């Protein structure tokens, strides 16, 4: 059953914690969104990243967004206790564009992210040294 529009707004507000962390280079906001056992999957500059969300926190805290960082949140689906969010990012670290997919569950009345999977736009992949 599709949820009310107000629930979509609540999911978007939760996802704003993710964007704020990336924009400010401070994982503390995202730590209130992700569950402790959340997982991360993606390919960064040709290297597969998978495992604990702790890697995302490390990336955010060490790289920072960059001056021209921009993001957009799209709530793709909300079905009672599960939601899917797409976050478009431009200019992370000054040069990388991502599409992130966040999988959220409504736990204890609060939207929490349990998984993050991402794509790095191919035109922003750093060239490999030969």
Q: Rounded to whole angstroms, how far apart are CA atoms 118 and 128? A: 20
Predicted local confidence at residue 2, as pLDDT: 67
Q: How many residues does the chain have?
A: 130
Print the domain residue range for 115: 5-124
Structural domain tally of the chain?
1
Question: Residue 109's CB: how many other CB atoms inside 10 A?
Answer: 6
Show the tokens assigned to 28. Answer: 């503390």
Of 29-33, 56-60, 98-102, 123-127, the poorest mean pLDDT is in 123-127
CATH number of the domain at 28, please.
Answer: 3.10.450.50
pLDDT in tens, 43-78: 988 889 999 999 999 989 998 777 889 999 999 999
pTM attached to this predicted model: 0.90
pLDDT in tens, 96-113: 899 999 999 999 999 999
pLDDT in tens, 10-22: 999 999 999 999 9
Domain assignment of residue 130, yes or no:
no
Domain assignment of residue 39, yes or no:
yes
Domain assignment of residue 85, yes or no:
yes
63: left (phi over 0), alpha (psi -120 to 50) or beta: alpha
Domain assignment of residue 129, yes or no:
no
CA 112 to chain centre: 12
User: Distances from the Cα of 122 to the Cαs of 46, 98, 118, in angstroms?
Assistant: 10, 9, 12
């Amino acid at each position: 059953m599709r949820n009310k529009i107000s629930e979509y707004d609540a999911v978007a507000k939760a996802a704003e914690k993710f964007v704020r962390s990336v924009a400010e280079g401070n994982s503390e906001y995202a730590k209130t969104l992700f569950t402790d056992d959340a997982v991360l999957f993606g390919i960064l500059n040709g290297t597969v990243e998978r495992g604990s969300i702790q890697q995302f926190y490390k990336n955010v805290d060490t790289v920072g967004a960059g001056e021209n960082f921009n993001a957009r949140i799209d709530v793709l689906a909300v079905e009672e206790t599960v939601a899917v969010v797409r976050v478009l990012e431009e200019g992370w670290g000054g040069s990388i564009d991502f599409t992130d997919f966040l999988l959220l569950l409504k736990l204890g009345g609060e939207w929490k992210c349990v998984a993050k999977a991402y794509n790095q736009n191919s035109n922003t992949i750093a060239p490999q040294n030969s």
